[in-house]
Amino acid sequence: MAIRPILIAGDSRLTTPAVPVTVFDDELRAFVDDLYETNTAAHGAGLAANQVGDPRAIFVFDLIDDGRRHRGHVVNPTLETAPLPETMPDPDDLEGCLSVPGERYPTGRAEWARVTGVDSAGEPVSFEGLGYLARCLQHETDHLAGHLYLDRLIGRNHRAARKMIKKRGWSEPGNSWMPGADRNPFGW
């Protein structure tokens, strides 16, 4: 297993839709292990393959919600959700991202989500949840569609994020950070 560098907003690999996985072998299983290890080292809730520069449609998650641990991975996911909110999100409804290190913005998400797909052996899997788990499933599936959570921001939150991207110089590709080696950008 290996910890991999995490790409930062501005890299085109984060905005390119993932490609479906067609080969289920030892290399894929080793890569999924790397995603788990990288996510753990980064203190993340989830991590998509394109965040470490791999184009395949895979994500892992490992989080605590309502006192219960939720851990899994999905290859070639399909997402279903409750209706998305159409108003400004609650200012305390913050979301962050390992590819937008150190930043958090109010982001509207559906309260319920279900992801179906297969695991690294090609066996069917399904994960469903409310609240934080639902947010994570939506967030990671968005990554594989080539979207950062910043794309979902509206109004003043969208404007603030655009200014932050410019200020940090994240409009150019090639920026990354290394979990376990670089200072944790979220302070965890």
For 34-46, the pLDDT digits (tens) are: 999 999 999 999 9
pLDDT of the residue at 188: 57
Give pLDDT tens digits for 11-26.
Answer: 999 999 999 999 999 9
pLDDT for 85: 85
Helices (H), strands (E): how many in the chain?
3, 9
Check whether 136 is labelled as a binding-site residue: no
Q: What is the pLDDT of residue 89?
A: 81
Half-sphere exposure of 61 (CA within 13 A, CB side): 26
Is residue 97 annotated as involved in ligand binding?
yes
What pLDDT shows up at residue 187?
A: 67
Alpha helices, DSSP H, located in 89-168: 131-144, 155-168
Low-confidence ranges of the chain (pLDDT < 70): 187-188
Using alpha carbons, list the distances in angstroms from residue 53 to 143, 148, 161.
12, 14, 23
Question: From CA 21, how far away is CA 24, in angstroms rounded?
Answer: 8
User: What's the rounded Cα separation, in Å, for the pair 103 and 170?
Assistant: 13
Task: Round to whole Å and give the CA distance between 175 and 91.
Answer: 29
Q: Is 172 a catalytic residue?
A: no
Q: Which of 27, 128, 140, 172 is catalytic?
A: 140
Beta bridge partners of residue 180, listed in sequence order: none
